[in-house]
């Protein structure tokens, strides 16, 4: 440690000591910052001959190690002379940063990545979040970036919104912000610590760091604590993105420091707009299918177009993507590639037409989002239960079909139907419970897909059956009484106690008991303090 301090060189601008490897870059940075402030006051400390000699020596040492320094995966010098963080991983699976996308071949970048918006005006959808009157729009327009958590389903625009913020940082006057992109799927706590260390150094020179952490829910709640002190101190501004419910998957302390922005699935109109822009960006031609068949469009008449697609096809893609722009763009890209390749094989001179039939043949089935362990799982079973309770057999069958199409475990559905039979029907139709139990046993024997009609039959029966929550309400009333009883629970009356031994009989256990109905026996069957309680008439 002492040898490193002896070799340290003092910066002639800020008087701080740095190693010979980084002194030149640091001096350049100091000079740049002092010049960019516009302050015409001359520097109090000028370079002496000794300082110049030291800097030249450091420069010589730096140039001797320049090759190994530039090959380092953890640092990369950008155009304005500052150093910023580069993705530590160099594997093929490492997530692309905004800077990395410039170096990747355009042909290898997926269409969904190419279509990322670069400013607020080009961002499509989520008007409740980033519309002209929204809080976030007003802040970003003033280049003020808050700590936020973006929560929404896949393909709704979380990463695209982060891309917009990244471009705001890039073009911010005076280099006020720098943007760092990490993914919890690829990065660990050590990567976050390294990024925060760099952010702390940048803050000394007036540059704030905006850190985008994709899939932030993949960090457990203990790991998420790494962000807390640095958000509070202003070292970083955190933008997190997650598809999981923040209430269950994010640290409550982290949530208190960030505003949760809820993004919804994109509407069909939003997806149509995105697809139309993607067609134009891919040098495609949007046309009416009837006009195209009657008039014909050739490559000679549309020299700049590679293919044509009709509006019905775009609409079908939007409708079958379940609000996921990435799925819609992926489907369009797949259809373009397959049909253009087919057209090249036959060496046709006509413009390639992507018809609705071709798209359906390429994609086969629509996309549907269903997470068996996430919010979709609980939201849809809740919708099924409430539809059965309301007696809406059509809604009940719809939500049941959604669950089965999403690959839900049939035994889970059957168990919930058993619960509904008792909770919402109960004594109004005692047969309902037996039907539900038989359905559950039959599902266990048959499995999917054969048991789908059994679940549908049971669901429809429960929806049509008369409803009574008498048992549910009575049970809850009894539970409330027991859990909120003041003092010790009352003892069992002597005549109701078990008397298996002579001693117990001598203590009058079971004395006076008879087997008559309560109206004829003359006995009470509740503790004396509760003899007038009635759980079934309290509601």
DSSP of 400-469: HHHHHHTT--HHHHHHHHHHHIIIIIGGG-THHHHHHHHHHHHHHHH-TTTTHHHHHHHHHHHHHS----
Nearest by Cα to 273 from 151, 106, 122, 157: 122
Residue 539 has pLDDT above 60, yes or no: no
Structure tokens at 241: 């993105």
Residue 89 has pLDDT above 60, yes or no: no
Residue 50 has pLDDT above 50, yes or no: no
Residue 476 has pLDDT above 50, yes or no: yes
Q: pLDDT category, 363, cuts 50, 70, 90?
A: low
- Enter the CATH code of domain 83-262: 3.40.50.300
Structure tokens at 230: 């640095």
What tens digit of pLDDT does each residue of 368-387 get? Answer: 555 655 667 788 889 999 99
Helix (H) or strand (E) holding 211: strand 208-214
Helix (H, G, I), strand (E, B) or coil at 271: helix
- Highest mean pLDDT (candidates 344-348, 432-436, 443-447): 432-436
The per-residue pLDDT for 88 is: 39
Residues forming beta bridges with residue 148, ordered by sequence position = 239, 259
Rg of the chain over Cα atoms, rounded to whole angstroms, equals 35
**Class of the CATH domain delimited by 375-468:** mainly alpha
> Once rounded to an integer, what is the mean pLDDT over residues 398-405?
89
The answer to whether 177 and 210 have CB atoms below 8 angstroms apart is yes
> Once rounded to an integer, what is the mean pLDDT over residues 99-104?
47
Structure tokens at 106: 């355009």
- Rounded distance between C-alpha atoms, residue 452 and residue 410, angstroms: 8
Sign of CA dihedral 451, 455, 458, 460: negative
- Note the pTM of the prediction, 2 decimals: 0.60
Residue 209 to residues 181, 317, 374, 381, Cα–Cα distance (Å):
10, 39, 32, 42
The answer to whether 227 and 191 have CB atoms below 8 angstroms apart is no
Chain centroid to Cα 185, Å, comes to 12
Tell me the percentage of the chain whose pLDDT exceeds 90.
29
- Rounded distance between C-alpha atoms, residue 290 and residue 304, angstroms: 22
Residues forming beta bridges with residue 284, ordered by sequence position = 307
The per-residue pLDDT for 450 is: 86
Q: pLDDT category, 79, cuts 50, 70, 90?
A: very low
**Average pLDDT, rounded, for the chain:** 78
> Once rounded to an integer, what is the mean pLDDT over residues 254-266?
91
The per-residue pLDDT for 33 is: 59
The per-residue pLDDT for 428 is: 92
Q: pLDDT category, 303, cuts 50, 70, 90?
A: low
- Rounded distance between C-alpha atoms, residue 421 and residue 433, angstroms: 5
Strands in 352-354's sheet, in edge-to-edge order, are 284-287, 307-310, 352-354
- Highest mean pLDDT (candidates 69-73, 341-345, 386-390): 386-390
Helix (H) or strand (E) holding 181: strand 177-183
Strands, E, within 220-354: which ranges? 236-242, 259-262, 284-287, 307-310, 352-354
Structure tokens at 489: 């629970």
The per-residue pLDDT for 420 is: 94
The per-residue pLDDT for 106 is: 57
- Rounded distance between C-alpha atoms, residue 191 and residue 59, angstroms: 29
> Once rounded to an integer, what is the mean pLDDT over residues 434-446?
93
Query: Could you identify the residue written with the tokens 């700049």?
Result: 304
Which has the higher per-residue pLDDT, 79 or 434? 434
Whether omega for the bond prior to residue 449 falls within 30 degrees of 0, making it cis, is yes
The per-residue pLDDT for 392 is: 92
The per-residue pLDDT for 261 is: 92
Residue 242 has pLDDT above 90, yes or no: yes
The per-residue pLDDT for 365 is: 56
Q: pLDDT category, 328, cuts 50, 70, 90?
A: confident
Helix (H) or strand (E) holding 150: strand 148-151
Residue 282 has pLDDT above 90, yes or no: no
Q: pLDDT category, 72, cuts 50, 70, 90?
A: very low
Sign of CA dihedral 304, 310, 311, 315: negative
- Rounded distance between C-alpha atoms, residue 161 and residue 116, angstroms: 9
Structure tokens at 335: 């259809």
The per-residue pLDDT for 304 is: 64
What tens digit of pLDDT does each residue of 495-535 get? Answer: 888 888 888 888 888 888 888 888 888 888 888 888 888 88
Which has the higher per-residue pLDDT, 372 or 153? 153
- Highest mean pLDDT (candidates 101-105, 189-193, 279-283, 522-526): 189-193
- Rounded distance between C-alpha atoms, residue 351 and residue 305, angstroms: 8
The per-residue pLDDT for 283 is: 80
The per-residue pLDDT for 295 is: 43
Residue 59 has pLDDT above 60, yes or no: no
> Once rounded to an integer, what is the mean pLDDT over residues 13-30?
72
The per-residue pLDDT for 321 is: 83
Residue 5 has pLDDT above 70, yes or no: no
DSSP classification of residue 350: B
Residue 158 has pLDDT above 70, yes or no: yes
Q: Where are the domains of the chain?
A: 2-71, 83-262, 270-363, 375-468, 485-530
Residue 431 to residues 202, 454, 466, Cα–Cα distance (Å):
72, 16, 11
Which has the higher per-residue pLDDT, 495 or 227? 227
Sorted by sequence, the CB contacts under 8 Å of residue 278 that are 6+ apart come out as 111, 114, 115, 329, 332
Neighbours of 365 (CB within 10 A): 7
The per-residue pLDDT for 216 is: 93
- Rounded distance between C-alpha atoms, residue 411 and residue 393, angstroms: 21
Which has the higher per-residue pLDDT, 500 or 442? 442
> Once rounded to an integer, what is the mean pLDDT over residues 126-134?
89
Transcribe 311-327 into DSSP letters.
Answer: HHHHHHHHHTTTT-HHH
Q: pLDDT category, 298, cuts 50, 70, 90?
A: very low
- Rounded distance between C-alpha atoms, residue 210 and residue 202, angstroms: 11
Sorted by sequence, the CB contacts under 8 Å of residue 132 that are 6+ apart come out as none
What φ, ψ does residue 477 adopt, rounded to 5°? -65, -40
The per-residue pLDDT for 366 is: 55
Nearest by Cα to 214 from 197, 238, 196, 195: 238
Which has the higher per-residue pLDDT, 26 or 342? 26
Q: Do domains 270-363 and 375-468 have the same CATH topology?
A: no
* Of the candidate ranges 87-96, 329-338, 374-383, 510-519, the one whose mean pLDDT is the lowest: 87-96
- Rounded distance between C-alpha atoms, residue 225 and residue 208, angstroms: 20
What φ, ψ does residue 229 adopt, rounded to 5°? -65, -30
Residue 391 to residues 67, 455, 474, Cα–Cα distance (Å):
74, 16, 22
The per-residue pLDDT for 302 is: 54
Q: Is the CATH code 1.10.720 the one for domain 270-363? A: no
- Rounded distance between C-alpha atoms, residue 362 and residue 356, angstroms: 10
């Amino acid at each position: 440690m002492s040898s490193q301090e002896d070799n340290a060189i003092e910066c002639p601008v800020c008087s701080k000591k740095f190693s010979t490897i980084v002194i030149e870059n640091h001096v350049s940075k100091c000079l740049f910052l002092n010049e960019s402030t516009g302050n015409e006051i001359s520097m109090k400390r000028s370079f002496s001959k000794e300082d110049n000699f030291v800097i030249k020596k450091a420069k010589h040492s730096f140039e001797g190690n320049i090759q190994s320094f530039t090959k380092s995966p953890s640092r990369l010098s950008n155009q304005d002379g500052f150093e910023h963080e580069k993705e530590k991983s160099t594997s093929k699976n490492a997530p692309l940063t905004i800077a990395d996308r410039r170096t990747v071949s355009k042909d290898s970048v997926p269409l969904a990545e190419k279509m990322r918006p670069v400013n607020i005006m080009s961002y499509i959808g989520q008007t409740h979040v980033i519309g002209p009157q929204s809080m976030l729009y007003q802040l970003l327009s003033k280049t003020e970036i808050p700590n936020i958590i973006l929560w929404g389903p896949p393909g709704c625009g979380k990463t695209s919104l982060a891309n917009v913020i990244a471009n705001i940082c890039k073009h911010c006057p005076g280099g006020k912000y720098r943007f760092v992109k990490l993914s919890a799927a690829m990065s660990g706590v050590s990567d976050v610590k390294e990024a925060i260390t760099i952010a702390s150094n940048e803050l000394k020179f007036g540059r704030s760091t905006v850190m985008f952490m994709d899939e932030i829910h993949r960090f457990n709640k203990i790991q998420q604590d790494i962000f807390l002190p640095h958000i509070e101190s202003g070292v970083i501004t955190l933008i997190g993105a997650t598809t999981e419910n923040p209430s269950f998957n994010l640290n409550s302390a982290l949530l208190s420091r960030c505003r949760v922005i809820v993004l919804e699935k994109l509407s069909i109109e939003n997806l149509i707009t995105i697809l139309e822009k993607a067609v134009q960006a891919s040098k495609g031609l949007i046309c009416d299918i009837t006009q195209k068949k009657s008039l014909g469009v050739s490559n000679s008449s549309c020299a700049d177009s590679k293919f044509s697609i009709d509006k019905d096809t775009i609409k079908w893609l939007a409708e079958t993507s379940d609000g996921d722009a990435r799925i819609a763009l992926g489907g369009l890209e797949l259809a373009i590639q397959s049909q253009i390749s087919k057209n090249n094989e036959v060496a046709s001179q006509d413009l390639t037409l992507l018809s609705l039939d071709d798209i359906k043949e390429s994609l086969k089935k629509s996309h549907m989002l269903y997470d068996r362990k996430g919010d979709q799982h609980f939201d849809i079973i809740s919708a099924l239960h409430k539809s059965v309770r309301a007696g809406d057999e059509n809604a009940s069958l719809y939500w049941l079909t959604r669950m089965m199409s999403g690959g839900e475990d049939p035994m889970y559905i059957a168990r919930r139907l058993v619960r509904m039979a008792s909770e919402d029907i109960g004594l109004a139709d005692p047969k309902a419970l037996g039907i539900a139990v038989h359905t559950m046993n039959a599902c266990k024997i048959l499995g999917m897909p054969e048991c789908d009609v059994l679940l549908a039959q049971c669901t429809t029966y429960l929806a049509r059956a008369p409803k009574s929550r008498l048992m549910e309400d009575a049970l809850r009333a009894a539970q409330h009484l027991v859990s909120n009883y003041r003092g010790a629970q009352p003892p069992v009356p002597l005549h109701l106690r078990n008397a298996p031994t002579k001693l117990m009989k001598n203590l009058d256990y079971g004395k006076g008991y008879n087997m008559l109905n309560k109206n004829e026996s003359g006995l009470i069957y509740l503790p004396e303090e509760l003899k007038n309680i009635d759980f079934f008439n309290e509601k």
